[in-house]
Amino acid sequence: MVSVDSLYDKIKRWTVEFVGGRGYSNQMTGYMTGELQTAVFTLILASLFRIFSIPLAIVLLIAVVAAILYFAPMIVHIERESSNDLNRVLFWVVIYFAIIIAVTLWGR
Protein backbone atom coordinates (compact mmCIF):
# COMPACT_ATOMS: atom_id res chain seq x y z
CA MET A 1 0.00 0.00 0.00
CA VAL A 2 1.29 3.50 -0.87
CA SER A 3 2.09 5.64 2.19
CA VAL A 4 0.12 8.91 2.20
CA ASP A 5 1.12 11.83 4.42
CA SER A 6 -1.58 13.24 6.67
CA LEU A 7 -1.84 17.00 7.22
CA TYR A 8 -0.03 16.55 10.53
CA ASP A 9 2.89 14.80 8.80
CA LYS A 10 3.16 17.58 6.23
CA ILE A 11 3.19 20.37 8.81
CA LYS A 12 5.67 18.50 11.01
CA ARG A 13 8.06 17.93 8.10
CA TRP A 14 7.73 21.56 7.02
CA THR A 15 8.47 22.93 10.51
CA VAL A 16 11.37 20.53 11.17
CA GLU A 17 13.05 21.75 7.97
CA PHE A 18 13.43 25.24 9.45
CA VAL A 19 14.76 24.29 12.85
CA GLY A 20 16.74 21.28 11.73
CA GLY A 21 17.83 18.31 13.78
CA ARG A 22 15.62 15.66 15.29
CA GLY A 23 11.88 16.07 15.18
CA TYR A 24 11.27 15.92 18.89
CA SER A 25 14.18 17.86 20.33
CA ASN A 26 13.76 20.10 23.35
CA GLN A 27 14.17 23.23 21.26
CA MET A 28 11.74 21.99 18.63
CA THR A 29 8.86 21.79 21.09
CA GLY A 30 9.56 25.37 22.14
CA TYR A 31 9.48 26.61 18.55
CA MET A 32 6.27 24.74 17.72
CA THR A 33 4.52 25.97 20.87
CA GLY A 34 5.74 29.49 20.17
CA GLU A 35 4.40 29.31 16.60
CA LEU A 36 0.99 28.24 17.87
CA GLN A 37 0.96 30.99 20.50
CA THR A 38 1.91 33.63 17.93
CA ALA A 39 -0.83 32.49 15.56
CA VAL A 40 -3.49 32.52 18.30
CA PHE A 41 -2.34 35.86 19.60
CA THR A 42 -2.45 37.45 16.13
CA LEU A 43 -5.99 36.16 15.71
CA ILE A 44 -6.98 37.64 19.08
CA LEU A 45 -5.45 40.99 18.11
CA ALA A 46 -7.41 40.95 14.85
CA SER A 47 -10.63 40.15 16.69
CA LEU A 48 -10.07 43.20 18.96
CA PHE A 49 -11.01 45.36 15.96
CA ARG A 50 -14.65 44.36 16.61
CA ILE A 51 -14.64 47.42 18.90
CA PHE A 52 -14.49 49.64 15.83
CA SER A 53 -16.63 47.61 13.44
CA ILE A 54 -17.66 43.93 13.25
CA PRO A 55 -17.35 43.57 9.43
CA LEU A 56 -13.84 45.05 9.71
CA ALA A 57 -12.96 42.48 12.36
CA ILE A 58 -14.21 39.60 10.20
CA VAL A 59 -12.24 40.83 7.18
CA LEU A 60 -9.14 41.27 9.32
CA LEU A 61 -9.51 37.78 10.78
CA ILE A 62 -9.67 36.22 7.34
CA ALA A 63 -6.68 38.32 6.22
CA VAL A 64 -4.72 37.29 9.30
CA VAL A 65 -5.44 33.59 8.74
CA ALA A 66 -4.20 33.94 5.15
CA ALA A 67 -1.12 35.86 6.34
CA ILE A 68 -0.34 33.20 8.96
CA LEU A 69 -0.50 30.43 6.36
CA TYR A 70 1.58 32.44 3.88
CA PHE A 71 4.27 33.74 6.24
CA ALA A 72 4.55 30.63 8.43
CA PRO A 73 6.71 29.91 10.32
CA MET A 74 6.26 33.31 11.94
CA ILE A 75 8.26 32.37 14.99
CA VAL A 76 11.47 32.78 13.03
CA HIS A 77 10.50 36.36 12.15
CA ILE A 78 9.48 37.09 15.76
CA GLU A 79 12.84 35.79 16.98
CA ARG A 80 14.68 37.87 14.39
CA GLU A 81 12.79 41.06 15.19
CA SER A 82 13.41 40.51 18.91
CA SER A 83 17.12 40.78 18.27
CA ASN A 84 19.14 42.44 21.04
CA ASP A 85 21.25 44.41 18.56
CA LEU A 86 21.22 48.01 19.80
CA ASN A 87 20.53 49.58 16.42
CA ARG A 88 17.57 47.26 15.73
CA VAL A 89 16.06 47.98 19.15
CA LEU A 90 16.50 51.75 18.71
CA PHE A 91 14.90 51.45 15.27
CA TRP A 92 11.80 49.85 16.81
CA VAL A 93 11.78 52.47 19.59
CA VAL A 94 11.63 55.26 17.00
CA ILE A 95 8.80 53.47 15.16
CA TYR A 96 6.87 53.00 18.43
CA PHE A 97 7.36 56.61 19.46
CA ALA A 98 6.11 57.82 16.06
CA ILE A 99 3.01 55.59 16.33
CA ILE A 100 2.27 56.71 19.90
CA ILE A 101 2.51 60.41 19.01
CA ALA A 102 0.46 59.91 15.83
CA VAL A 103 -2.29 57.94 17.62
CA THR A 104 -2.60 60.34 20.56
CA LEU A 105 -2.49 63.48 18.40
CA TRP A 106 -4.99 61.96 15.92
CA GLY A 107 -7.25 60.85 18.72
CA ARG A 108 -7.73 64.25 20.34
Partner 1 sequence: MIEVTIQLLSFFAAAALVIIGITGMLFLDNLIKKIIAFILLSDGVNLMLVAVGYVEGGIVSILLPGMSPSEFASKAILVFPVGIVLTNIVISVSTTAVLVALVIMLYRRYGTLKSSKVLKEERR
Partner 2 sequence: MIESISNLWSIPLLVMIPIFATIIVNLLFNRNKAIKYISLISALSLVVITLLSPYGFQWFTGQPALNPNTLTFTFDASIPAWRMALEFYFGPLQQALIFVMALILVLVIGIATNGLTKNQGPYIGMIFLLFASAAIIVMVNDLYHLWIGVEIGSLVVAGVVAASGEGISQKAALKYTFFSALSGAGLAIALALILGLTGYSNISDAIRYIQTTNLNGMSSILYVAFGFFTLSWIYAGGLVPIHPLKSEVYGAAFPHGTAMLQTQSKLMLVAIGLVMLRLFGSLPFAREVMLSISVLTMMLGVVMALLQTDLRWILAYLIVSHSGLVTVGISLGTYDALVGGLFQAVNDVLYMSVLLLGCEAVYYLGNGTSTKTAAGIAKKAPWLALAVVLGTFAASGIPPFNGFQSEIILIQSALKVGLPEVAVVILILSVTTFIALFRAIYSIFLRPADTTHLVVSGLIPSEAQEVGKETPIPRGLYLSLAILVVITLILGVYPDLVIRFLTPVAQAVSIPWYP
Give 3-state DSSP helix, strand, coil % of the chain, rounded to 5: 80, 0, 20
Residue 85 CB, nearest distance to partner 1 (Å)? 4
Residue 94 CB, nearest distance to partner 1 (Å)? 7
DSSP-derived secondary structure letter, 4: -
* Preceding peptide of 73 cis, ω within 30°: yes
Residues that bind partner 2 (CB under 8 A): 26-27, 29-31, 33-34, 37-38, 40-41, 44-45, 47-48, 51, 75, 78-79, 82-84, 86, 89-90, 92-93, 95-97, 100-101, 103-108
